Amino acid sequence: MASNTLHTEENLALMEQLLQCGTNISLWKYSSDGHLVWTNSNHLVLDRIFENTGNKTYMLKCCTQYTAPLVMGGKLGLMWCAVFERRGSIPWAIYVLGPVFNSEISTANLEQSILDFDINRAWRRGYLEIMQGLPVVPSTLFFQYVLMTHFCVTREKLTRSDLHFQKWNPDEAVGTEEPEHDRMQVWLAERALLNMIREGDLNYQSAFSHANLLSGGVRAGSQNPILQAIVSCTSFTSLCVREAIQAGLSPDTAYRVGDSYIQSMIQCKTVTELRSINHAMYEDFVMRVHKHRTNPSVSALIQNCHDYIESHSEQPLSLRILAKRMGYSESHLSRKFKQETGVSITTYIQYARVERAKFLLMTTADPVSKIALELQFCSSSHFSTVFQEITGKKPQQFRREMQMK
């Protein structure tokens, strides 16, 4: 038993160092009854936030039921994860990773959280500094760290599908109903967001944060916060699709993009994941419309080519496939594409695939070889060569730098 304990402590010491490499994720150890044993964080106020959100209570209720890690979240987009250590069948200790944000958080939301978390007036300035210093870690990368920590504690190898996710949102489980929002203000905020899609306005962050503060979403007639969030996010996605089409995005592209995000939303198991995907969806449509509006010299034919290439970067693409799709001869399409864009179709396909690769490198833990295969590159080495030619960096270097930001 003593040997096993020593082995676990050595593994955790190594894991603690790994967590500090770029991401700076805090590690906390609690006894099975919830007392803090130790932490490498300098900010013990985070333990109070963990408790005030209801996550600690929820974790203690689950520690007798679960052996796989438990992912928990809060309405700010905060995430924690608990890894359970047992002695036989008896809960012995709980290791918590976090908190982290899974996306950038606005100052307005942080200031609102001062009231939500009941932060003492004397601590408010320090609280804001602490929260602004928390790491932003994509969910997929955070889950990978969680699985590694679980292995350090238990020597058991698990996958993403083995993780447990919070079945309710403790932020909303306080026995009081959510206050009614001013429906006119909610409607105005929603119209502002949709107008920004129509205009391709890149200065959308403050409006997006303001709308999140105002609205609790579409009423789903359910006490299940996950269902409530899914209904709200998928409804908003449908509105964004229509607005993008009115802004000039092709219906084929707009609906395909929207359907892809809706499928991801339906599969989410936490409100935190949903918020992250909802933010990515909105940003995606704004960027697509902005690109469309800032390239007025591109004809409808070439814009449709752009849209098709970007939406099918993980499928086989060629001049022949595009010409057949657009209804033009290969020679006419090739000549017109080069004339309007200044690059060949083959080169543009590579650009689109590299952009998709950058997204996958930032948001997943997939190995480079898998990403290369998904994006139709003949080999990992060919993918790395093309990626470096376009970005100036190798894929592994790009991923490391993005994780450190």
Reply yes or no: is the peptide bond before residue 251 cis, omega within 30 of 0: no
Query: Which residues on adjacent β-strands are paired with residue 28?
Result: 39, 96
**How would you classify residue 345: left for phi > 0, otherwise alpha for psi between -120 and 50, otherwise beta?**
alpha
Amino acid at 193: L
CA distances from 142 to 19, 138, 149, 158, 266 (A): 10, 6, 11, 14, 21
Which residue bears the tokens 């010491």? 13
Q: What is the DSSP letter of 178?
A: P
pLDDT in the model for residue 291? 79
Give the residue from 344, 354, 347, 359 showing the smallest Cα distance to 399: 359
Q: Write phi, then psi, for 117 (nearest 5 degrees).
A: -95, 5
Class of domain 2-172: alpha beta
Give the residue from 81, 38, 39 showing the smallest Cα distance to 63: 81
The pTM score is 0.47
Instruction: Report the run of H or E that residue 19 belongs to, with start and end.
Output: helix 2-19
Q: Is 138 helix (H, G, I), strand (E, B) or coil?
A: coil
Kindly give the confidence (pLDDT) of every residue in the chain, 405 residues in length, as a single tens digit, with 9 standing for 90 and above. 444 555 677 778 878 777 777 678 999 999 999 999 999 998 888 888 888 888 899 999 998 888 999 988 766 678 899 999 998 888 999 999 989 887 677 777 777 777 766 667 777 788 888 888 888 887 777 888 899 999 999 889 988 778 887 765 444 433 334 444 455 566 667 777 888 888 887 777 666 765 654 454 444 444 567 777 888 888 889 999 999 988 888 888 888 888 888 888 888 877 777 887 888 889 889 888 887 777 766 787 888 888 888 878 889 999 999 999 999 999 999 999 999 888 899 999 999 899 889 878 876 778 999 999 999 999 999 999 999 999 999 999 988 887 665
Chain centroid offset of residue 84 CA: 25
pLDDT in the model for residue 74? 67
Domain boundaries, the chain: 2-172, 183-293, 300-404
Rounded (5°) CA angle 285-105-174: 110
Strand 27-31 relative to strand 36-39, pairing: antiparallel
pLDDT in the model for residue 173? 39
pLDDT in the model for residue 172? 42
Q: What is the CATH number of domain 300-404?
A: 1.10.10.60
Which residue bears the tokens 């209804």? 327
Contact 374, 312 (CB under 8 A): no
Residue count of the chain: 405
Chain centroid offset of residue 381 CA: 28
